Amino acid sequence: MSRLKIIGWVLGLVLASAVVFYVYTAPFNYQRLPGVRIGGQLTEHPTNWNTIDVDGVVYLKMEGFPPVVVKVFYASDEGGIITATRPDNGYWANRVRGNPNGWMRFGDETYALQATEIFGDARLPLLEAYGANNGMQMRYDFEGEVVVGQNEPLHTWEVFYWTTR
């Protein structure tokens, strides 16, 4: 076997190992870098979603191809899970609009859910709960300080309400 073939095999093995590592570990930190596996144990949904208590972000997997798993902030109420995103034509929101089925992972438990996008003033109470749960200011006007980490005031964000499917 020539030296060139050996180098080719080694590079192929390294590339394949990198792909396998990515598939089984990403998303590995809170960046806008998606993963492909959600993990966790598929679990029967609770009768009251307020019993879910996971700090910070959770994993969200959208149905369809290619498989995509992102980390999102959330809030809960008795009937479901609230997620929100900036109105920036983001990838995961567009995926959910095209196919509302997905899975959300809280700790080691994963739930099969279906999203409904909420429009207009009906979003505001959900955004208030979302903001309160995640330490974000609602801000109904454009005066005052810019909220750090938010390019758009929270009241302009898009809202998805996830219920059991």
Can you say whether residue 9 is alpha, beta or left, with left for phi > 0 and alpha for psi between -120 and 50 degrees? alpha
Inside any domain, residue 91: yes
Other beta carbons within 10 Å of 141: 7
Inside any domain, residue 28: no
pLDDT at 56: 77
pLDDT at 136: 82
Inside any domain, residue 10: no
Q: How many domains does the chain have?
A: 1
Q: Element (H or E) spanning 124, and its range?
A: helix 123-134
Inside any domain, residue 18: no
Residues in the chain, total: 165
pLDDT at 8: 85
Predicted TM-score of the model (pTM): 0.75
pLDDT at 10: 86
Q: How far apart are CA 139 and CA 147, in angstroms?
A: 9
| Low-confidence residues of the chain: pLDDT under 70 | 21-34, 139-152
Domain range for 141: 34-164
Q: How far apart are CA 51 and CA 42, in angstroms?
A: 17
Within 13 Å and on the Cβ side, how many CA atoms surround 70?
Answer: 20
pLDDT at 53: 79
pLDDT at 76: 94
Inside any domain, residue 24: no
